[in-house]
Amino acid sequence: MLCMKNRIAAVVLVMAAWALPGLSAAQQATAAQAAVAEAPEAESGGPVRHYLLGAALTSSQSHVGSDGRELGLQPVWGFWAGRYRLSSGRASSLWNVGRETVVDPGLSTTLLSNSDWSLGAALSWDAGRKSGDEPLLAGVPDLRSTLRGKLSVGYAFAPRWSIGLGSSHDLLGRDGGGRYSAGLGYRQPLSERAYWDASLSASWGNRDYMRGHYGIPAAAAPRPAYSPDGGIEGMGLGWSFTTAINHNWVAYAGWNLSRLMGDAGRSPVVGTRQVWGASAGVAYRY
């Protein structure tokens, strides 16, 4: 019953993001975003549209399934029309060179925003996981793909410091559960066009999330069952550098470290509790 109430609440909150356009119209953008948006709207009478397209070279490693490392080229893309944004993960942080409002991957919108804080909502598709993909997942049921809804709050409590809170839920009831996050960020401007960021984050999951991602059900015999409880999932560190090469081109490079903790770190499906990743990319903004 509690899980059902959580899902219903998450659906209502995310639907409210698209049902209340008037609420965010007056406070949607920061001062910099508003300055960019006003002129095109005045000329065309329609919503402002922004595009971003690029590519990134990434080196990544997964906690779950195996400890192998992958190196590859990934697309970086995004589209912004008025209040709404559709973007890949990294593109969501490249809309502006400067302090952004909360922008999550997937289909997102800003509900409320001023110079210090923002409230955002997002919908994203979780591709799930196939049990046969990795050796440590042998016999474990597939984690079904699902639609996730997320609410995010960001607050800049000092000129270079900010905090963020997030709550993400499986909206289709496919054992994805709820995941919660908190982060502390620091931004050091280097010039009008460049800055570096550092971040410290932590994540938690409810029982459904932890068991879906790190558990082994009794039906997966002969493997011993593992039923983690809800609690902390892990912590992470990150550093990135971003620069606007010119008005249209932006480049970035970043590094991150994450460590699983608690029941998640002790799971038999986890190959490595501590992993790191790095990426570098370039994108064109219009």
- Residue type (1 letter), 254: G
pTM above 0.85, yes or no: no
Is the link from the previous residue into 222 a cis peptide, with omega within 30 of 0? yes
**Distance between CA atoms of residues 200 and 18, nearest Å:** 31
Q: How many CA atoms lie within 13 A of 100 on its CB side?
A: 18
Q: Could you please report the per-residue DSSP string of 18-53?
A: HH-HHHHHTTSS-HHHHHHHHHHHHHHSS--EEEEE
pLDDT per residue over 149-195, tens digit each?
Answer: 999 999 999 999 999 999 999 999 988 999 999 999 999 999 988 99
pLDDT per residue over 264-281, tens digit each?
Answer: 999 999 999 999 999 999
What residue spans define the domains of the chain? 2-285
Place of tokens 């009794």: 218
Q: Is the dihedral of CA 14, 93, 198, 101 positive or negative?
A: negative
| Secondary-structure class of domain 2-285 per CATH | mainly beta
Q: Are 245 and 284 within 8 A, CB to CB?
A: no
Of 61-75, 109-123, 159-173, the least confident: 61-75
